[in-house]
Amino acid sequence: MNRRKFAECSQKKVRPVLTYSDETHHSSANTYQKIMQYFKPRLWLGMTATPDRRDDDAPERNIYEIFHHQIAYEIRLQQAMEEDLLCPFHYFGISDLSTIGDEGKDKGKLSPEDFRLLTSDERVRHIVEQAKYYGFSGDRVKGLIFCSRVEESRELSQKFNALGYRTIALNGDAQEEKRAEAFERLAMEEADATEEMQPLDYIFSVDILNEGVDIVEINQVIMLRPTQSPIVFIQQLGRGLRKATGKEYVVILDFIGNYTRNFMIPIALSGDRTYNADTIRKYVISGNNTIPGASTVHFDAVAKERIFHSIDKMRGLRAIVRESYRTLKDRLGRIPYLIDFYESGEVDPLVIIREYKTYPDFLLSVEPGQTAEALSDQEKLTLEYLSKTILSGVRPYELEMPKRLSQQETFTVEELSAELGEQYGEPVNRMSMESAASVLRGEFVSKEEERRKFEVIEILKADEEAGRFHRMKSYEARLGHPAFAAHVRDLVQVGLHRYQDIYGSASQKEGPFVLYEKYSRRDVCLLMNCGRDLSSTMYGMKRIGDDVFIFITYHKEATEDESRLYAEGKPDYADAFADNMTFLWDSQIGKGPDSSYMRDVTEAARKHLFVKKSDAETSFYYMGTFDIAQISAAKKKDNNGREKDITKVVMRMHHAVRDDLLNYLESNLITEEE
């Protein structure tokens, strides 16, 4: 509602049919509330580009609650680009100078020397060169440059002006008249210039341009500050997404330093809020594939590696989980479950469990004294074990069994196998069913200590002669506790959704594995019906029945001890793809072609290759099965300098490895010092 209509309604004391509020994420503020409490329209319509942003953390400031948790329409960046509502953008993640962007700057602690580096002539030249190289759409540049600090914006503006640019630093202390004049100068054409009013090439600012600014002519946005929040990133990128005559696209230049939160960049660009490390990596690998229309995303090699480095060492996840929980609770108007996180695209439930072990434990930390009735020790252990074993959803059987046990006391192996075979479109063998049952008996552990800890979960027991499974009485009693039963249903729902979305509908499957999806060694044990977790004994090679599994870390960590050749005793194996179809592998030191170790590899009917980029990753990409094309004997020195036998193997893959994944694995890792 504009000011004139507001005044008319106030004088006549009429009740408007519809009242709308723009930038409605501020609607909890006193200035907004005075208006909203004065008028009593039949409908309040709130509009904002950042509904999850609010001015403080007070629970009474819930924007969704003000609008009765009703979302009339929601559109995110991806969909808006797909529907051609915004101007296409070309994003370039560019490496900032190596001297910029350490943790001190990330936290706002800046020494005089650091400030000198931040505003150095060398850095200014670097920014100007890149801005010229990547260019803009239109006759002249009309750009915004976002800085970390007011002092930085002023100093950089002066240095740009000294190079012949027309710029101004505009920050919170600027009067409305000065802001309006700056916006007009940025938008104006050269032909409209006067002696009193000259065009601007750039406006430098910290944060006052994040919202409420509509300069449609902006054709270049430069980001010189670390991305701390996906919301703020999209607000700043969005300043250039307005369509305008003669503007075909906007160029976004993001100067990426060694920031601890670089992982926020692909999260913001992709719109993915799961904070799942593998999902973020996939986006960096092939960002263009997820941006609709003519827009593009490109990271230079160093910037890409800085992001990978940040992903590998993601910090502050507990704070992110809590923020995501608060947002989701605000939207729903109730305490959410894990399935709500999954279906809403919020933080991945696996991230929550990794941080807190169980969802009830998380709820106790974020809602002390307000969560459901207390769980017994046995109930807590049951949820901890199920969260650890079945939530990932790599196989549906361990999920379907507790789903049925919540409804019936007993079922036969044949009945369930037939139902699941029909439901999932693939045969189910008895061994897999029995393996799933052993998992639910608490047996899928790696140590005896763990087995004793979880044997009390008592979910089901098997009648092997009758081929039947029975629900145990103690589990039946626990299901009578509504809070416990709800959390079990929640885990089952999330696990089944993950299976269907990631593993169940995949077309490229080799046995139980899906090509190019990620699996832990523990997952391999589960899918191979090992009966227990053998991951602690699975190093570079593991033979399981007629299958052999090769686990490769593509980039080996260097040793800091000059007297040792290899970090942690791991040899510098020549493990690498020669091309998309050929992998070169060195056996373990001391294992020649005639060793039992190599016989396990050569004689296995099926040979599987799993690869991860670095030791920071806990899971491996499944690269598929292979044949051995060539074997040769060789020598390699161990850490004591003694030459030992090894075997060099040339593998021929059954499927050509995807180019984007191969490029990711082969890109060089940077070090923290760089």
Q: How do residues 435-445 score in pLDDT, each as one tens digit?
A: 999 999 999 99
Work out the burial of residue 482: count CB atoms within 10 Å of its CB; fewer than 13 is exposed, 13-18 middle, 19 or more buried: exposed
Residue range 276-281: average pLDDT? 89
pLDDT of residue 61: 62
pTM of the model: 0.82
| CA-closest candidate to residue 581, choices 654, 511, 659 | 654
What secondary structure letter does DSSP report for 313? T
556 touches 572 (CB < 8 A): yes
Interval 428-468: pLDDT, tens: 888 899 999 999 999 999 999 999 999 999 999 988 788 89
| CA dihedral (316, 92, 308, 116) positive or negative | negative
Distance CA 374, CA 380 (A): 10
Q: Which two tokens stand for residue 325?
A: 């929980």
The number of beta carbons lying within 10 Å of the beta carbon of residue 49 is 17
State the Cα–Cα distance between residues 461 and 467, nearest whole angstrom: 11
Share of the chain above pLDDT 70, in %: 85
Q: Say how many C-beta atoms besides its own lie within 10 A of residue 48's C-beta.
A: 16
Name the more confident of 511 and 220: 220
Q: How confident is the model at residue 68 (pLDDT cuts 50, 70, 90)?
A: low
- pLDDT of 338 reads 97
- Structure tokens given for 283: 């986006």
Between CA 330 and CA 428 the distance in angstroms is: 43
Give the model's confidence band at 567: pLDDT under 50 very low, under 70 low, under 90 confident, else very high. Answer: very low
pLDDT higher than threshold 60 for residue 327: yes
Radius of gyration over alpha carbons of the chain, in Å?
29
Q: Residues 6 or more apart from 567 whose CB is under 8 A from it?
A: 556, 557, 558, 559, 560
Structure tokens at 628: 């051995």
Phi (first) and psi of residue 460, to 5 degrees: -145, 165
Cα–Cα distances in angstroms (integers) from residue 16 to residues 34, 45, 65, 595, in the given order:
16, 12, 21, 86
Residue 214's pLDDT band (cuts 50, 70, 90): confident
From CA 92, how far away is CA 297, in angstroms rounded? 6
Q: Are the beta carbons of 437 and 390 closer than 8 angstroms?
A: no
